[in-house]
Amino acid sequence: MNIKSIIDLKNCPINRPQSVEYLEMVKTVKTGLAEDGCAVLSNFLSNDGLDALVSEAEKKKSQAFYAKSKLCNVYLAQGNAAEDDQHPQNIFLERSNGFITADLLAEGTYAHTLYYWEPLRSFLAACLSKKELHIYADPVSNMIINLCKPGQTFNWHFDTNEFTITFLLNAAESGGHFEYVPSLRAADDECFNEVKKVLNGDRSRVKRLDLNAGDLQFFLGRFSLHQVTPNTGATDRLLLIQSFTEKPGIIGNPQRVKDLYGKVTDAHKDRIDERVRTDSLLD
Ligand SMILES: [Fe+2]
């Protein structure tokens, strides 16, 4: 299948940057991100493209990695012994989803072809107000499929990345909802009390987004707490996640990559420890 058949270019002409439709899409995304930290372009993938990506994911599912430690705090980091057990750093929640890692989606796969298609990257950069975006150089985690089987969940957390690009490949039949609390913390403030309220069940600021298979979602997950609720249906929820960086050659922290995805490569051993974040927030 040609790359141009994976995306519904009639509905979302990202290969025609001068078109009115293109500019409208960029505007829609920018507005959503500014107001809510979140934006969706519905039916972004074509039916054929969606089918191809799903069947590719189905073939790789048996090789998905599940982390041994199933309890994580919202920072996906260590607890803090200096704080009490009600502090957000010390509240550990279940994370039971698995990941099909990038090394299983090699060159020639539909997922790889989509990720490396330059017009897509240019379009994403325009939507995110970035001069340019680079492929995240991490060979294990730059493009992954989040696999949430019946009964599994990915509880409240913040992302390390400023933004995330996802394509829902298969929605859960029930449950498996994406929920988020926009701008719960800021670059200079962890807002621990607000985080604690959500973890204690306060839903007054929680928003739920109903996504459909084929949708493209932009999300600023560094500051917005978010979760995928338990999958209560009988089928797997599948989500393709693409990561990009503003500078080339960035790869993940080896320990974190090993913990989350179960493997590292020689590239991780040679990694120069470069902190790329512009804030001092907990992971
Ligand atoms: Fe996340």
User: Distance from the CA of 152 to the center of ligand 1, in angstroms?
Assistant: 15
The pLDDT, as a whole number, for residue 77 is 85
User: Distance from the CA of 20 to the center of ligand 1, in angstroms?
Assistant: 32
User: Distance from the CA of 159 to the center of ligand 1, in angstroms?
Assistant: 5
The pLDDT, as a whole number, for residue 66 is 87
pTM of structure = 0.92
User: Distance from the CA of 257 to the center of ligand 1, in angstroms?
Assistant: 15
User: Distance from the CA of 158 to the center of ligand 1, in angstroms?
Assistant: 6
Q: Note whether residue 147 is domain-resident.
A: yes
Q: Note whether residue 116 is domain-resident.
A: yes
User: Distance from the CA of 226 to the center of ligand 1, in angstroms?
Assistant: 6
- Asked if the model's pLDDT at residue 272 lies above 80, the reply is no
Q: Note whether residue 274 is domain-resident.
A: no
Q: Note whether residue 70 is domain-resident.
A: yes
User: Distance from the CA of 2 to the center of ligand 1, in angstroms?
Assistant: 30
Q: Note whether residue 10 is domain-resident.
A: yes
Across residues 133-146, what is the average pLDDT?
A: 95
User: Distance from the CA of 234 to the center of ligand 1, in angstroms?
Assistant: 23
pLDDT-based confidence at 281, cuts 50/70/90? confident
Q: Note whether residue 283 is domain-resident.
A: no
What is the domain range of residue 213?
3-269
Across residues 42-50, what is the average pLDDT?
A: 97
User: Distance from the CA of 273 to the center of ligand 1, in angstroms?
Assistant: 23
The pLDDT, as a whole number, for residue 279 is 67
DSSP string, 178-224: EEEETT-SBTTB--HHHHHHHHTT--TT-EEE---TT-EEEE-TTTS
User: What percent of the chain stands above pLDDT 90?
Assistant: 79
Q: Note whether residue 278 is domain-resident.
A: no
What CATH number does residue 257 fall under?
Answer: 2.60.120.620
Strands, DSSP E only, in the chain?
38-41, 71-72, 93-94, 98-100, 134-135, 143-148, 154-157, 164-170, 178-181, 207-209, 216-219, 225-228, 237-242, 244-245
81-85, 136-140, 169-173, 256-260: least confident range = 256-260
The pLDDT, as a whole number, for residue 82 is 97
What total of structural domains would you count in the chain? 1
User: Distance from the CA of 272 to the center of ligand 1, in angstroms?
Assistant: 25
Q: How far apart are CA 164 and CA 222, in angstroms?
A: 9
Q: Note whether residue 118 is domain-resident.
A: yes
pLDDT tens by residue, 162-181: 899 999 999 999 999 999 99
The pLDDT, as a whole number, for residue 277 is 60
pLDDT tens by residue, 87-122: 999 999 988 889 999 999 999 999 999 999 999 999
User: Distance from the CA of 221 to the center of ligand 1, in angstroms?
Assistant: 6
Across residues 22-28, what is the average pLDDT?
A: 98
Host H or E run for residue 258: helix 254-261
